[in-house]
Structure 1
Amino acid sequence: MDSFDAIVVGSGFGGSVTAYRLAEAGLRVCLLERGKAYPPGSFPRSPHETAKNFWDPSSQLFGMYDLWSFSKLDALVSSGLGGGSLIYANVLIRKPETWFVNESIDGGYERWPVTREDLDPHYDSVERMLDAQPYPFDQKPYEDTPKTVAMQEAAGKLGLSWELPKLAITFARPNEAPAPGVEIPGGDDNLHHSPRSTCRLVGECDLGCNFGSKNSLDLTYLSAAQRRGADIRTFCEVRAFEPVDGGFQVSYIEHRPGQDGDPAAPPLRGAVRARRLILSAGALGTPYLLLRNRSAFPALSPALGSRFSGNGDFLGMIVKARRLQEEGGDGELVPRLLAPSYGPVVTSAMFMPDAHDEGGTGRGFYIEDAGYPEFLNWLVENNVLTMSHRVGRFLLRRAWSAATHSPKSQVGRSAADALSKGLFTATSLPMLGMGRDVPDGRVFLREGHLDLDWDLTASKPYFDRLNKTMGEVSKSLGGRYWASPLWLLNRLITVHPLGGAPMGRDRREGVVDSYGQVYGYPGLSIADGSVMPGPVGPNPSLTIAALADRSAERIIDDHRRNPAGRP
């Protein structure tokens, strides 16, 4: 059985940062990731391949999208080397200083045992590693990005602050001006050995970037960890772990998907040992593993499963935006192009202050522009039903012209009419909302499956306010507003599940301390979104990574003080 100084379970923002920092410090590290590697160019785009790109090994699905459905909430997370960084929108925003609240935990409030000052050095470190940079909105061809211009205008009309957040995207070659689609020198220096190019502004971030423009974790932290000797194992799904001989033994199964349509082979069983174990399987995966293995850890905090939050995630849509043909006059209203498929998925954000902020009320939030690939515009505008109607009309006209011996031979206009003008999608824009919902959910096991006890009641004022503000943004741009259809069914979907193994000042309040170390079990740590005692507010990836960076420093210090005791 292989032995290491540390085993890391999961390769998301917590696991990748931890694996790199420990390997950099000279520890022997094994990282176990249940999913597969996705080099640039391997992310599916065809309907056939995309239909297989979900995670459900019991159905021989070993893809990237892992969808969980609970009674009141759905959650979408990622399975693959690099975790959520493969499909996130690249946004790196620091948690506002005033949102590290320290309130009574009664009634659904949270208590943060860390501060912004604690995390700022680690925010700095992560931003450097991910080469974080704002969208280059002050340069061509980026300065005319319609959705960015529109969001800036809307924020100004509503009196909300607006920003260009840092993004983990490469827009330019070193020491050169930004330019779309140029090769990045040395871009193949990664664990995939795949070349990379700068952002091509095609809105495909959430489907996986086939051009390597995203500075995802596999291309940054994990590549660096591997260069420093980390043993990275894919398709290895952890099932059990237990304390043993002053350390931990981790048991896993190694999936063996079939190739070229062949059925999967039976999985192999494996086990490894280490003095330290770091769980980084995410806010659903880590609590699930702890709950399933609780008999081996009887002293775990009663807070296990608590403080679950969806980070206030909400989806809204501006549709049919309009503007005056002559700005400032009484001219005719004409379509306002928002072009959601131009640019990365997110370019900018507006901010609604919180009751903890000067002049704020209620629970604060962010609203970000969102985009999607161009092929979705074709899907909406030229689907089978509408396309067949227009093409049928075109063919009837051609048949009539032939029957009447029409002399008109140029029919470009008729052919153009057979296609949609595309104005619905061109004048529409998704909006992503996230913020300080109430973290009063609890995850637990029911018949061996993870379940969630959560309802909308406590957070409804927050969502009502966010929904209302999105409507005002839409109106300010001359558009109509559509809320997520799930909202009409009193359901939500989150891509940022948090909590379940929250940090706290003691074992009663949290599963881990402020450094992610599990109370009662030296050597066992958690580094992922499950340690959040409440919502981050903005996109949580950067804060998860910063907390992991801080936690890794404590593990390194402990190891240097007491390097003996390897299993």
Structure 2
Amino acid sequence: MAVELTRRNVLALGAAAMLPSIPAGPAGPRREHHRVVIVGSGYGGAIAAYRLAEAGVRSLVLERGRRWPVLPGGDTFPPFLAPDRRSSWFTPTPVYPGMPPVVYRPYAGLFERVRGDGMDVITGAGVGGLSLVDGVMLQPDGDVFSRVMPSGVDYQELADVHYPRVRARIGAQRIPDDVLANRRYAPTRLFLDQAARAGLPTARLDEACDWSVVRDELAGTAVPAASIGEYLTGINSGARTSVDRNYLAWAEASGLAEVRPLHVVTDIAAAAQGRYEIRARQITEDGVPVADLVLTADALILAAGSMGTTRLLVRARETGALPRLTDEIGRHWGNNGLRLYLRALIPSPTGPYQGGPTSVAITRWADPARAVTVEFGPAPFPVETHAMPLPGIGLCEPAGHFRYDPLTDDTRLTWPSTADAAAQAAIRDTLQTLVAGTPTPGPHPPATGIPVLDGLLSAAAAAPYGLLDMNALEPYTFHPLGGAVLDRACDLFGRVHDHPGLYVLDASLIPGSTAACNPALTVAALVERCLDTLIPTDAGTVF
């Protein structure tokens, strides 16, 4: 039976309602069978493909986005303050907060903004997923970790085995002294100095970054990118050690993993003989449909991120495609307590083109109940602004949930605004302590010539303490967590309850918070931990 371009499938494509329809060929959709199908190529999908290949198991990886190879010309990724059609997933304007407005032809770009009730989520699209643009590898404190994760997950095992393994394989490193001493990193040193004066503990962060390439940028032998604050939308010099360049590349090199970009999964369902059916549409970078596919698999690994995986599962349960899925699917979601601030009126110069990527933070973890991390997020401001972006992460309640609406055939997130109130208070208190350490206000930010940026800087200068809560202007997060949580919707190793051969291996496993830290390292370490059990027990028996 052909896959039709129904409203259901259009909605599953995200904002792809502009994609034109093509009639199915006389033979209908292309049909294939695979031993393992992996949906998504970010941290979870890439690690799964590599570990399966290492064990001699073939897999097919379906990724909705395109490949983003770093090219010598240094123009793979779009500049943050000069966005173009590469910036967003099939919308005519940018969706990343703070980008200047511009209109362009829709494209298979980097970011999608998934609208929800009470919270929007910024997700990635591309081979490598969000690892293309976000590489902070921050390991949580054990006491804080134990407050948010199921008791069956042993923090010490992660600390001894899986966190170090991921850092080594991804090549996560802390900013070296010589790079930190460079004039481009003066605002990073300033942040550390101000935190020390305020009595706040700080740390250098492990970052998925090849700092030798950043040295080349500073020496003028590589395209300037990270060193001028251009890292939020990808690093054109090649300094980012994203998973398409390690785990996934190793899997493909083995000959046992096939990666298919621009394949949008629309539906999953039960198939005969205990297998799973996956329906997908292959598209061009402009969104033109190429082919419809109906795949069956002995094992299906969902690694499409919290939003992609959860929406597929909730929809499959509510439409009867996987009717035995537990009611725990679609629950225990959180925004990781993420809050983004813009600080203005800093007395000392903060510099134009602040060197990145994110490499230092305040780590206020002594009280596990109020643990908070505040990072310095360097920005590509074109002029001196006496300002710094300061993302904060605290602890939130996993109170978000997803509902399926049969009238619109849409699955939508609902988030209560009070669920991260404790995180907001802890972040605000830490920032006010930071500002109190440098009480003399600096000058009002000068005009940059970029209206959206000038508006934000003026609002920050007028805000109490010179701190603009950007999430008070519009609620959004870059850290979606939960929806198919360990020990609730899944067992402690990602097996979906009562569905042999169906696995979740991504941020959906985590109940709302990664213990006041960026999620990437913990997501990757959990996936490694799950596969340490799944491969020896399920490969050759379940699939």
Which residue number corresponds to residue 281 of structure 2?
Answer: 253
Q: Is 1:484 the counterpart of 2:487 in the alignment? A: no
Alpha-carbon offset, residue 299 of structure 1: 2.1
Aligned pairs for 1:173-212 (under 5 A) are 179-180=216-217, 201-212=227-238
Counterpart for residue 170 of structure 2: 130
Map of 1:441 onto structure 2: 400
Secondary structure of 2:370's counterpart equals coil
Tell me, what secondary structure is at the counterpart of 2:310?
Answer: helix
Code of the residue aligned with 2:143 in structure 1: it is T
Q: In structure 2, which of residues 331, 354, 360 is the aligned counterpart of residue 342 of structure 1?
A: 354
| Unmatched tracts of structure 2, length 5 or more | 1-30, 93-104, 442-464
Give the structure 2 partner of residue 296 of structure 1: 321
Matched residue type, 1:483 = L
- SS of 2:499's equivalent in the other structure is coil
> What is the match of residue 27 of structure 1?
57
User: In 2, are the aligned partners of 1:304 and 1:501 still within 8 Å (CA)?
Assistant: yes
Is the partner of 2:277 in helix, strand or coil? strand
Is structure 2 residue 349 aligned with structure 1 residue 372?
no
In 1, Cα distance between equivalents of 2:108 and 2:184: 40
1:329-408 to 2 correspondences below 5 Å: 336-339=348-351, 341-353=353-365, 355-356=367-368, 362-373=369-380, 377-378=381-382
Separation in 2 of the partners of 1:559 and 1:535? 29
Note if contact 2:85-2:106 (Cα within 8 Å) is conserved in structure 1.
no
Deviates more, 1:40-49 or 1:244-253: 40-49
Q: Which residue of 2 aligns with 1:234?
A: 261
Give me the whole-angstrom Cα distance separating, in 2, the residues matched to 1:430 and 1:128: 29
Change in CA separation of 1:234 and 1:140 when aligned onto 2, cut-off 3 Å: closer
Report how far residue 462 of structure 1 moved: 2.6
Q: TM-score, normalised by structure 2?
A: 0.80
Distance in 1 of aligned mates of 2:215 and 2:106: 42
- Cα deviation for residue 144 of structure 1 reads 7.4
Q: Conserved in 1, the CA contact under 8 Å of 2:281 and 2:289?
A: no
Cα distance change of structure 1 residues 556 and 454 upon mapping to structure 2, 3 Å threshold: same
Secondary structure, counterpart of 2:323 in structure 1: coil
Indicate the residue corresponding to 1:61 in structure 2: 107
**C-alpha displacement at 1:289, in angstroms?**
0.3
SS across alignment from 2:357: coil
User: Structure 1 residues 354 and 239, CA, compared in 2 at 3 Å: closer, same or farther?
Assistant: farther
Aligned residue-pair number: 465
Aligned AA (1:155): A
Q: Which moved more, 1:46-55 or 1:227-236?
A: 46-55
- Map Cα deviations across residues 50-87 of structure 1 (whole Å, 9 max, x no partner): 24531138995321111122232221110111100112
Larger radius of gyration: 1
Counterpart for residue 430 of structure 1: 389
Separation in structure 1 between the aligned mates of residue 65 and residue 484 of structure 2, nearest angstrom: 23
Instruction: Compute the RMSD of aligned alpha carbons.
Output: 2.6
Partner of 1:471: 432
Secondary structure class of the residue paired with 1:151: helix
Q: Whole-Å Cα distance in 1 between the matches of residues 106 and 290 of structure 2?
A: 11
Deviation string 1:126-147 (CA, Å, 9 cap, x unpaired) is 1111111101135674487222
Partners of 1:281 and 1:528 within 8 A in 2: yes
Distance 2:185 2:167 in 1: 24
Residue number among 110, 118, 123 corresponding to 2:157 in the alignment: 118
Opposite residue 494 of structure 1, the aligned amino acid is T
Give CA-to-partner distance per residue, 1:213-255, whole Å, 9 cap, x none: 1001111111111101210000001112223323222111111
Q: Note closer, same or farther for the CA distance 1:555–1:3 as it changes in structure 2 (3 Å cut).
A: farther
CA distance in 1, matches of 2:402, 2:151: 20
Contact 2:372 2:426 in 1 (8 A): no
Aligned to 1:390: none
Secondary structure of 1:206's aligned partner = coil
Counterpart of 2:14 in structure 1 is none
Q: Of the candidates 79, 90, 95, which is equivalent to residue 45 of structure 1?
A: 79
Alignment-derived partner of residue 318 in structure 1: 343
Q: Confirm or deny that 1:70 pairs with 2:116.
A: yes
3-state SS of the aligned residue for 2:37? strand
Q: Distance in 2 between matches of 1:271 and 1:315?
A: 42
What is residue 453 of structure 1 aligned with on the other side? Answer: 414
Change (3 A) 1:464 1:266: same
Q: 1:499 is matched with which residue: 479, 482, 486?
A: 482
Unpaired segments ≥5 residues, structure 1: 103-108, 185-195, 259-263, 323-335, 357-361, 379-421, 505-509
1:151-162 counterparts in 2 under 5 A? Answer: 151-162=191-202
Amino acid at match of 2:136: V
Q: 1:517–1:525: 8 Å Cα contact kept in structure 2?
A: yes
CA offsets 1:68-107 (integer angstroms, 9 cap, x no match): 222322211101111001121x2101122112335xxxxx
Match of 1:187? none
Distance change in 2, residues 1:52/1:231 (3 Å): closer
Moved more, 341-350 or 54-63: 54-63
Contact 1:112 1:533 in 2 (8 A): no
Give TM-score, length-normalised by structure 1: 0.76
Question: Which amino acid letter does the alignment assign opposite residue 161 of structure 1?
Answer: P
